[in-house]
Amino acid sequence: MSSPLTVALLGGGTVGASVAQLISESADDLTARIGRELKLTGIAVRDASKPRPGVDSKLLTEDAAGLAASGADIVIEVIGGIEPAKTLIESAIANGSSIVTANKALLAAHGAHLHKLAEEAGVDLYYEAAVAGAIPLLRPLRESLAGDKVTKILGIVNGTTNFILSKMYNDGADYSVVLKEAQDLGYAEADPTADVEGFDSAAKAAILAGLAFHTNVTSDDVYREGMTKVTADDIAAAKSLGYVIKLLAIAELTDDDKGVIVRVHPAMIPVTHPLASVRDAFNAVFVEADAAGQVMFYGRGAGGAPTASSVVGDVVAAARHRITGSVGPAQSIYADLEVRSIGEAKTSYYLNLKVSDESGVLAAISNEFAKHDVSIQAVRQDGEGDAASLIIRTHEAPESRLRATVEALENMTAVREVLGVMRVEGAGA
Ligand code: NAP
Ligand code: HSE
């Protein structure tokens, strides 16, 4: 039998430990599927003395640079963050290793550079686990949908925030308590600000947009709002109107087909929308394509074992290529579309205003909407003494016009306070 294919694992935390376990538990099956044995040569960690149940302690090393440069057939990077992960991957590629990583932050910032290095070196760069945990999503986008024209991607791509928002919505749970729970379950990033402020979703949205629209999109190109400003009151208001609030990642072609808009923000979606029932750390992504129509991907978006499934799937793909002396598809960024600002994005909106309860106020407010060409779909007014609470739903309008409307409303004396403005997605589903 031929000699084993060597695998070096950089990182032995939530994901790394699960990857090591999966490779060891499925060793015979993996050998049969690949046609050669996989041999784990080392696991690089910061502190090799930490107890790691289920991980062979003889494999642990604190010399990540040495392991990365060891010339293993495949180097798996699950350390996370930009450095030292970037330097370690560069060194591994320079030493002829194929790369499997779960690092969306790195890919969304330096994906084009790493793809170029991998292509020049004739090695694979796979990162299925970087977006939506266990869900096979990147390979279908890169390969199965390669014959179609993708027009929009809309989804929940962060398990931590979906876990928190679900618990707040269903159980009235407290934000900080649920965040701690998500951390304990291994869903959150090392710094959970990345999750709750939307950086993690933005990195994933950039990766998805790049693959779907054949354009280099980085995290900096993504409009980002996190979920930390979503209050228990917002959630209660959404509930009373038949909506749920989710942190969404959206990437779409502009009307002229020459640009893309990529955004991450909380949004209200109707309880009847399929994304509304995506709870806990599950993720779901809709892809809309001209010929295929709507395709939905659903599954566990975070956690050690689900993420390890995607990582090891990539290891199998890279291992098969090592045997045949081939590589997977290179990065496709031929379309080079312009990344446009959120001002051009069209959606409908929910507004919650506290206004003076006087004659003519409603007419004056609706006049401001009309002046900015934002059409009102529904209004609900509840009196509260000399004031009234006004809930307004608009039809679809460009973000820039809605912002101008809100600015005008804030300057009206009859409007005492703009209590809330939120985008509404999926109302047509
Ligand atoms: P983690 O639990 O914090 O593990 C990170 C690992 O990297 C630890 O073993 C740590 O060593 C090691 N490490 C950190 N800095 C190092 C350095 N300078 N040199 C050597 N080793 C170092 O993180 P994780 O949750 O497994 O996430 C890893 C990656 O997977 C990240 O890119 C993350 O975004 C991505 N990801 C995570 C999930 C998830 O659900 N957790 C899902 C998809 C993708 P010590 O153990 O000694 O501290
Ligand atoms: N922190 C990420 C999340 C891990 O919660 O979705 C999976 O990428």
Mean pLDDT of 182-211: 97
Question: 195 CB less than 6 Å from ligand 2?
Answer: yes
Q: What is the pLDDT of residues 5-28, one digit of tens each?
A: 999 999 999 999 999 999 999 999
pLDDT at 428 over 80: no
**Percent over 70 (pLDDT), the chain:** 99
Q: What is the mean pLDDT of the chain?
A: 96
Nearest to 204 by CA among 152, 112, 131, 264: 131
Is the shortest distance between the CB of 160 and ligand 2 below 6 Å? yes
pLDDT-based confidence at 1, cuts 50/70/90?
low
Q: Determine the average pLDDT of the residues in 30-45.
A: 98
Catalytic residues: 204
Nearest ligand atom owner, CA of 129: 1
Per-residue burial over 98-112, b = 16 or more CB atoms within 10 Å of its CB, e = otherwise: bbbbbbbbbbbbbbe
Nearest bound ligand to the CA of residue 194? 2
Q: pLDDT for 65-120, tens place per residue?
A: 999 999 999 999 999 999 999 999 999 999 999 999 999 999 999 999 999 999 99
What pLDDT digit, counting tens, does each position of 334-369 carry?
A: 999 999 999 999 999 999 999 999 999 999 999 999
CA distance 419 to 397: 20
Q: Is the CB of 394 under 6 A from ligand 1?
A: no
| Confidence (pLDDT) at 66 | 98
CB 296 within 8 A of CB 286: yes
pTM of structure: 0.97
Q: With 80 as the cut, is the pLDDT of residue 173 above it?
A: yes
Residue 395 near residue 383, CB atoms below 8 Å: no
210 Cα: distance to centroid of ligand 1 (angstroms): 24
363-383 pLDDT, tens digit per residue, is: 999 999 999 999 999 999 988
Q: In this predicted model, what pLDDT tens digit does every residue of 266-281 receive, in sequence order?
A: 999 999 999 999 999 9
Give the model's confidence band at 122: pLDDT under 50 very low, under 70 low, under 90 confident, else very high.
Answer: very high
Look at residue 291 and tell me whether its pLDDT is greater than 80.
yes
Residue 321 C-alpha to ligand 2 middle, in angstroms?
Answer: 28
